[in-house]
Amino acid sequence: MPTNLERLRCPVLLIWGEHCLYLQFREEFTRRIPQHQALVIQGGRFCLPWEHPAAVGQATLDFVA
């Protein structure tokens, strides 16, 4: 597990697919990253930009807007 997550001082968007292996670390990441938004895309796996490009794109636009 990365050890410098607490040092992040900018907003972070975390996007996972519901079937992604790394979703098991969601609680750890959200606990350690001070300013975050988290999104789990239903039906997603590992390559979300290819599997669900519209959902990833919209979430990214909403985050930076």
pLDDT score, position 46: 85
- pLDDT confidence of 2, banded at 50, 70, 90? low
CA distance 37 to 59: 10
- Per DSSP (E only), the strands in 1-65 are 12-17, 36-41
pLDDT value, residue 3: 72
pLDDT for residue 60 is more than 70: yes
Q: Which residues are paired to 38 by β-bridges?
A: 14
Sequence ranges of the domains in the chain: 5-52
What are 8-51's pLDDT values in tens digits?
A: 899 999 999 999 998 999 999 999 999 999 999 999 998 999 99
